[in-house]
Amino acid sequence: MAILNIIKEGDETLRKISRPVTEITPRILTLLDDMKDTMHHADGCGLAAVQVGVLRRIVIVEVEPGVLYELINPRIVAFAGEQREEEGCLSLPGKQGRTKRPYAVTVRALNRHGEEIEVSGQGLLARAFCHEIDHLDGKLYIDRLV
């Protein structure tokens, strides 16, 4: 596996909209593996493909050690409640800000085997899902500061 370069604020790629994955190829599987290694190396809890310069709708999230979510073409299908918490981002090192996010979300996506899955999370997990999916639409947490 490889440690990829995480692009930083100011790189226009972060503001671009990512394209859907139409086929899960060996290259996509390698990207998922490399994203996991990169996220762990950077001590993060989530990473979107766009953050490593790949404009594909892929995110990974791991807020609890050993519980990794690999989400291809993710979309939020349900949300409830509200939370206002501090967020940071591997692409904006050293910065944090308070955002308003749903307290609970349900995400529908494909897994690495091309199977449709639905995952739900509350609190930090919900915030991480929202944060990473925002990246796929060219949005950063600083766009949602309260």
Residues serving a catalytic function are 132
Among 86, 89, 87, 88, which residue's Cα sits nearest to residue 8? 89
DSSP 32: H
> Rounded to the nearest 5°, which phi and psi values hold at 54?
-110, 115
The secondary structure of 48-90 as a DSSP string is: EGGGGT--BSEEEEEEETTEEEEEEEEEEEEEES-EEEEE--T
User: HSE (CB half, 13 Å, CA atoms) of 31?
Assistant: 24
Task: Determine the Cα–Cα distance for residues 92 and 71; give it in Å rounded to an integer.
Answer: 22
